[in-house]
Amino acid sequence: MSKKGLAKGKSGKKYTITEEQQGEYHYVYGPYATPVIHVEPGAIIVAETHDAFEGKIKKTTDKPSKILNFPYLNPQNGPIYVEGARKGDTLAVYIKSIKPRGKQPVGTTCLIKNFGGLVGTADTAILNAPLPERVKKLVIDKKGVHWSKKLILPYEPFIGTIGTSPEIEAITSLQPDYYGGNMDVPDVATNTVIYLPVNKEGAYLYLGDCHAAQGDGELCGVAIEHPTTTTIQVDLIKGWTIANPRLENERFYMSIGSGRPMEDATRRAYKDLINWMVADWGYDKLEAYFLLTQCGRVRLGNMVDPKYSMGASISKSIISKR
Amino acid sequence: MSKKGLAKGKSGKKYTITEEQQGEYHYVYGPYATPVIHVEPGAIIVAETHDAFEGKIKKTTDKPSKILNFPYLNPQNGPIYVEGARKGDTLAVYIKSIKPRGKQPVGTTCLIKNFGGLVGTADTAILNAPLPERVKKLVIDKKGVHWSKKLILPYEPFIGTIGTSPEIEAITSLQPDYYGGNMDVPDVATNTVIYLPVNKEGAYLYLGDCHAAQGDGELCGVAIEHPTTTTIQVDLIKGWTIANPRLENERFYMSIGSGRPMEDATRRAYKDLINWMVADWGYDKLEAYFLLTQCGRVRLGNMVDPKYSMGASISKSIISKR
Amino acid sequence: MSKKGLAKGKSGKKYTITEEQQGEYHYVYGPYATPVIHVEPGAIIVAETHDAFEGKIKKTTDKPSKILNFPYLNPQNGPIYVEGARKGDTLAVYIKSIKPRGKQPVGTTCLIKNFGGLVGTADTAILNAPLPERVKKLVIDKKGVHWSKKLILPYEPFIGTIGTSPEIEAITSLQPDYYGGNMDVPDVATNTVIYLPVNKEGAYLYLGDCHAAQGDGELCGVAIEHPTTTTIQVDLIKGWTIANPRLENERFYMSIGSGRPMEDATRRAYKDLINWMVADWGYDKLEAYFLLTQCGRVRLGNMVDPKYSMGASISKSIISKR
Amino acid sequence: MSKKGLAKGKSGKKYTITEEQQGEYHYVYGPYATPVIHVEPGAIIVAETHDAFEGKIKKTTDKPSKILNFPYLNPQNGPIYVEGARKGDTLAVYIKSIKPRGKQPVGTTCLIKNFGGLVGTADTAILNAPLPERVKKLVIDKKGVHWSKKLILPYEPFIGTIGTSPEIEAITSLQPDYYGGNMDVPDVATNTVIYLPVNKEGAYLYLGDCHAAQGDGELCGVAIEHPTTTTIQVDLIKGWTIANPRLENERFYMSIGSGRPMEDATRRAYKDLINWMVADWGYDKLEAYFLLTQCGRVRLGNMVDPKYSMGASISKSIISKR
């Protein structure tokens, strides 16, 4: 947990956001909702997240296009009001644990009409006929994610969608941007601190959409979705203003850029990482650019959302050797 | 005016939205604001629009980056609540007149740091130093737009930003999308009907950002901005559901697609135009695709906003000859 | 015809390139072919161009995917060796006339599998099933292009593919770039001068792929293709080095940018037009950027080739009023 | 080494391509050059590769823009004529070793004007002033790549540019595409087999541009370039026709897609990987798409070349569990 925050790494009061407490989940990242809880920096929050379909896809014969009702998708817990947070500050959210919740088969994935990375979509509008829909329900247990009788994928859970509210916009939870949102970057996993810019008083933190496993790019647009009990600790860093979500874990520092086309997402990520190296490690801007050319790492989050997400990172073992 | 609407081309009651009535202008297209007026289909509305900077850029020595305060940009009149409008209907907005308003020089344009079509931006994030800022104030009178002593550009006003509210999102008025918004397509001019999808009860129509002149693409991001008195007539077409803004004038039918990269904006525009040809003129889908290959016209609205806008059109003299 | 050229607008010797003289047509723009003729600046050349399919698509029941044999597509006349042309010079090619050639129905268009602006392609690789193929053969006569019994499109012929050889590359004639090639910009029509950069000794001018009519974007990828007798006059401007194809007609100056995504094509076009305004009319760079924002015009050539083409232009009546 | 090849994993005759034997290096991937050697499937080839600048950047005060002479960049060894190779076959090139060659400091990297991932370029044409140029010369020894006194990066050499000739095109060695070329994917390293499509008789294999270290995306456009002695073994797989370069190592199978925008490169890579899974492991197409969503991995090669490169891969431990 970040030592730079107000809580100085100490755990504060513990809060829960059960399904009951949450009541209506949210489908936009915005300032117009009423906070479900108010917390102080250091607070530990245990949230019952829904899967991206709010549990409505129950069996393999379900037709996603008939069940799903845009824009009521990707339900989010929150908003969480963080006391003391003001525009220009940054939240540091430490992800303590993510655990599957509910009855087996607890995992869901599906092919949705006109949605995905290798099909025509509302944006990449084409005349070809859509692919057929498919639904898969999967048991997730200690062994992992049971894809088939022969194949068990490792359980590698992360938070697909997490972020703060924009100042005056309210944006679909299907989209990622500078405030976080639907980034689908698998590194937003346990034992990670994600930094999120505060755009309005109280920050209004939202989260949801936890994935049990996901490949780079979330190719068909639907990872192994599952409801969880997710525990985070929220801290507040006063006066640290950031332009993109950033994260750190034991191995690296990462900045996450979102945009279209994909090169713009990558540019945003790398440029912000350079800015971070300049501000916090004293790099010369061009030296940072030069060095990342030789050792930067890139991870594709999603290639399916209204904006694509890319994480650009540098190893902790390198960054300090300036 | 569309005969398909409830008003059958008849003018209804006349409304005004003066600066005073408007009070606070809006910076998002969303459902969370309180309507400034409620009108019936057929209503004529005379709106006092601000320029995109709310009149804050007053002289050529002003520094836009110091005066402008994102996201409080591109102020919009509205929302206008249209009685009887429900999700799935379409507004038909006839643009009757656009007239400059206020003291000379009434026109403003400027170069804004890290904004524009030929510079690095927040999205196309680069390390090059930004261009210098510049401001130009211009007299607009009967002769036209006074660019310099030698050059007077024709006064060709249009509405840069117009649209309905999304269902639950509230999106910056700097962005265009399926609901309209900041399209900056010069064909949204007088003697034109623009069709806008209704996404929520009452439609919540917004408008503003009138331009006195603009090139294709709005290259530096700022056209000849000016405050106006704009008169529109609003009609409602029940049960006509459209996916993109569309428009018609005496010469052609156009669909406007917004997206990134620019080819996606163009694809959205052309595909929707095909859908229109199929639904309303009985074209076979592939025949429409085939024909537009030979006679479709494309107009670039903006190449500077969070999404680019493209209008794809077909001549009225061609479309009827099926 | 350009007065800047060596020929000073005077017509020189007349040459023909009949089908017989041409012998094998070319499918790349490159320096490795043997010139079919050598000409002096001022020369008039009458070329018998093939249609893009070399006449192989003869009837509406033909299957393009069975007949067409990539990369042997879009056959080109040439190369024409221009005496005195050296790297760093520019060709000025005046298009005198384009006339249909051959037996009726002389026009061909078709839908080709996995090719076009609204379908998946080799680049925009998707899993959706391809559209069916279609072929249309059309009579082209004095009345125009006979699309159907009811619809005759105007005959508006232009050269789809024209350019010089790169220095050491040999690039498919399906692609446009800085040297010209398959731009498919309808303004490359009669009474126009197109300027093309000389990249190697002799320039090696190629041309072909004339269209009888085409919409902006050449949506399905195939315009009204037809064999022609095309007459051009070739002049040479020594020491004028250009980065993109440019053209002028009675009304405007245009620069043509090619690239992907489409915004990059547009950026190339507009930036080169600014450079032209600076170099030849004395504009300040930022003033040109500023002015084009208000009056620039953009025309989409193709949205289907390996690179898209965009023409950015400014009216002659405006550019001179500095 | 691939058992599918004609050589069945057995090493054949050993060849060298020294600087002397090579004579003139090549700057295009094309069929117009004369093969430097003819080899049989199974042959082992030891090539002396140049760095991307042909050794012309010698000291840190050199100005790349003055020394480098486009298009004479990225010199390639070859072409190597592979006996028996015909269009529709595939080369399997096993990379045995890559060793630095020449006098210290043997490594070179630099910032080149208007070239790179976070600057304006010829394609992403903007008006901002270029960044300053910089050159860095680096010792590469057993300890690694000496970036600074404090920082030694691991020596992780790979072949930046390798591929076969197109059928009739000759394309700059700065560009990657379906035939390989300048992919800059760090997985093209030792103990890897890269598969390359044969497009013309003899295959015409080229290689060069070895990197001592490189980050994902090759951000500024220039990795740690160095001359090497590179040893490969070339095998030929008759009748196996592939659309993209592919590779395998001990851990995974990868397909490499190149294109613009970056999402198109990614689509090409993932789609080809699906085709591979279908053809060689019997996957249903949609099942492969579905599974890669959960476990596919993506690696960004370059984000600076005329086309970007992306590798999409699947673990060997997963693919076989169908």
The neighbour count for residue D108, using CB atoms within 10 Å, is 27
What total number of domains does chain D contain? Answer: 2
- Does the residue B8 lie in any domain? no
Q: How far is CA A8 from the centre of its chain?
A: 24
Taking the CA of residue D155 and the nearest CA in chain C, the distance in Å comes to 34
Q: Do B254 and B228 belong to one domain? A: no
Asked if B278 is an interface residue toward chain D (Cβ–Cβ < 8 A), one would say: no
Asked if D136 is an interface residue toward chain A (Cβ–Cβ < 8 A), one would say: yes
Chains touching chain C at 3 or more Cβ pairs under 8 angstroms? A, B, D
Asked if D151 is an interface residue toward chain B (Cβ–Cβ < 8 A), one would say: no
C170 and D271: CB-CB below 8 Å?
A: no
Taking the CA of residue C268 and the nearest CA in chain D, the distance in Å comes to 5
Residue in B30, B268, B270 nearest the CB of A123: B268
Taking the CA of residue D292 and the nearest CA in chain A, the distance in Å comes to 6
Per-residue pLDDT band at A2 (split at 50, 70, 90) = low
The neighbour count for residue C149, using CB atoms within 10 Å, is 7
Taking the CA of residue D132 and the nearest CA in chain B, the distance in Å comes to 10
Q: How far is CA D240 from the centre of its chain?
A: 21
* Among D residues 227-246, those touching chain A with beta carbons less than 8 Å apart: none
Q: Do A84 and A104 belong to one domain? A: yes
Round to whole Å and give the CA distance between A78 and A100. 19
D213 and A294: CB-CB below 8 Å?
A: yes
Q: Which two tokens stand for residue C273?
A: 């037009």
Asked if B286 is an interface residue toward chain C (Cβ–Cβ < 8 A), one would say: yes
Taking the CA of residue C306 and the nearest CA in chain B, the distance in Å comes to 13
Interface with D, mutate which of C32, C256, C267 (most D CBs under 10 A) = C267
Residue in A71, A172, A261 nearest the CB of B260: A261
pLDDT for the residue numbered D3: 62
A32 and B264: CB-CB below 8 Å?
A: no
Looking at residues B30-53, what average pLDDT do you find? 98
Looking at residues A228-253, what average pLDDT do you find? 98
Asked if B222 is an interface residue toward chain C (Cβ–Cβ < 8 A), one would say: yes
- Does the residue B306 lie in any domain? yes
Residue in A125, A131, A261 nearest the CB of C128: A131
D117 and A214: CB-CB below 8 Å?
A: no
Q: Do B234 and B283 belong to one domain? A: no
Bridge-based pairing of strands D205-211 and D158-163 is: antiparallel
Summarised one tens digit per residue, pLDDT across range B178-235 is 999 999 999 999 999 999 999 999 999 999 999 999 999 999 999 999 999 999 999 9
Asked if D287 is an interface residue toward chain C (Cβ–Cβ < 8 A), one would say: no
Coil, helix or strand at residue D95: strand
Asked if D125 is an interface residue toward chain B (Cβ–Cβ < 8 A), one would say: yes
Place of tokens 């080709």: C112
Q: Do B95 and B211 belong to one domain? A: yes
What's the distance, Cα to Cα, between the start and end of chain D in Å? 24
Higher pLDDT, D26 or B2: D26
- Does the residue A6 lie in any domain? no
Q: Do D215 and D254 belong to one domain? A: no
Domain that holds residue A153: 14-241
Whole-prediction pTM value? 0.98
Residue in B131, B266, B322 nearest the CB of C303: B266
pLDDT over 90 percentage in chain B: 98
Round to whole Å and give the CA distance between D70 and C217. 31
At residue B218, φ and ψ (nearest 5 deg) are: 45, 60
Summarised one tens digit per residue, pLDDT across range B273-311 is 999 999 999 999 999 999 999 999 999 999 999 999 999
- Does the residue B9 lie in any domain? no
Low-confidence ranges of chain C (pLDDT < 70): 1-3
Interface with C, mutate which of D119, D244, D260 (most C CBs under 10 A) = D260
Chains touching chain D at 3 or more Cβ pairs under 8 angstroms? A, B, C
A170 and B28: CB-CB below 8 Å?
A: yes
Q: Do D226 and D267 belong to one domain? A: no
Asked if D281 is an interface residue toward chain A (Cβ–Cβ < 8 A), one would say: no
The neighbour count for residue D241, using CB atoms within 10 Å, is 12
Q: Do B54 and B149 belong to one domain? A: yes
pLDDT for the residue numbered A3: 61
A128 and C125: CB-CB below 8 Å?
A: no
**Whose CA is closest to B80, among B44, B113, B120?**
B44
Summarised one tens digit per residue, pLDDT across range A38-56 is 999 999 999 999 999 999 9
Minimum CA–CA partner of B133 in chain C = C286
Q: Do A101 and A207 belong to one domain? A: yes
* Among C residues 244-273, those touching chain B with beta carbons less than 8 Å apart: 260-263, 266-267, 270-271
- Does the residue C8 lie in any domain? no
Taking the CA of residue B133 and the nearest CA in chain D, the distance in Å comes to 12
Q: Last residue of a domain, which of D222, D241, D260?
A: D241
D219 and A131: CB-CB below 8 Å?
A: no
Contact C37, C17 (CB under 8 A): yes
Indicate whether B2 pLDDT > 70: no
A127 contacts on C by Cβ (under 8 Å): 118-119, 131
The neighbour count for residue B151, using CB atoms within 10 Å, is 18
Residue in C171, C261, C286 nearest the CB of D260: C261
* Residues ≥6 apart with Cβ < 8 Å to D250: D191, D316
B176 contacts on A by Cβ (under 8 Å): none
D294 and A147: CB-CB below 8 Å?
A: yes
Q: Last residue of a domain, which of D241, D261, D276?
A: D241
Asked if A139 is an interface residue toward chain D (Cβ–Cβ < 8 A), one would say: no
Residue in C220, C267, C321 nearest the CB of B293: C220
Asked if D119 is an interface residue toward chain C (Cβ–Cβ < 8 A), one would say: no
Taking the CA of residue B171 and the nearest CA in chain A, the distance in Å comes to 5
HSE-up (13 A, CA, CB side) for residue C153? 27
Q: Last residue of a domain, which of A241, A263, A291?
A: A241
Q: Do A275 and A184 belong to one domain? A: no
Query: Looking at the DSSP assignment, which residues form a beta bridge with residue C92?
Result: C195, C235
Asked if B122 is an interface residue toward chain D (Cβ–Cβ < 8 A), one would say: no
Furthest C-alpha separation in chain D: 57
Rg over CA atoms, chain A = 19
B295 and C215: CB-CB below 8 Å?
A: yes
Asked if D122 is an interface residue toward chain B (Cβ–Cβ < 8 A), one would say: no
- Does the residue A22 lie in any domain? yes
Asked if C128 is an interface residue toward chain A (Cβ–Cβ < 8 A), one would say: yes
Q: Is the peptide bond before C105 cis (omega within 30 degrees of 0)?
A: yes
Asked if D303 is an interface residue toward chain A (Cβ–Cβ < 8 A), one would say: yes
Asked if D168 is an interface residue toward chain B (Cβ–Cβ < 8 A), one would say: no
B127 and D119: CB-CB below 8 Å?
A: yes
pLDDT for the residue numbered D322: 86
- Does the residue C215 lie in any domain? yes
Looking at residues B55-75, what average pLDDT do you find? 96
Q: Do C188 and C216 belong to one domain? A: yes
Round to whole Å and give the CA distance between C297 and C312. 6
Query: Looking at the DSSP assignment, which residues form a beta bridge with residue B48?
Result: B229
Q: Do D137 and D18 belong to one domain? A: yes
Taking the CA of residue A193 and the nearest CA in chain D, the distance in Å comes to 23
B118 and C271: CB-CB below 8 Å?
A: yes
- Does the residue A3 lie in any domain? no
Please state, rounded to an integer, the average pLDDT across all residues of chain A: 97
CATH number of the domain where residue C278 is located: 3.10.28.20
Q: DSSP per residue over C8-54, as a string?
A: TT----EEEE-HHHH-S-BSEESSSSPPSEEE-TT-EEEEEEPPTTT
A127 and C131: CB-CB below 8 Å?
A: yes
pLDDT over 90 percentage in chain A: 98
Residue in C118, C127, C130 nearest the CB of A119: C127
Taking the CA of residue D64 and the nearest CA in chain B, the distance in Å comes to 18
Round to whole Å and give the CA distance between A131 and A128. 9
Q: Do A40 and A141 belong to one domain? A: yes
CATH number of the domain where residue D183 is located: 2.60.120.580
pLDDT for the residue numbered B203: 98
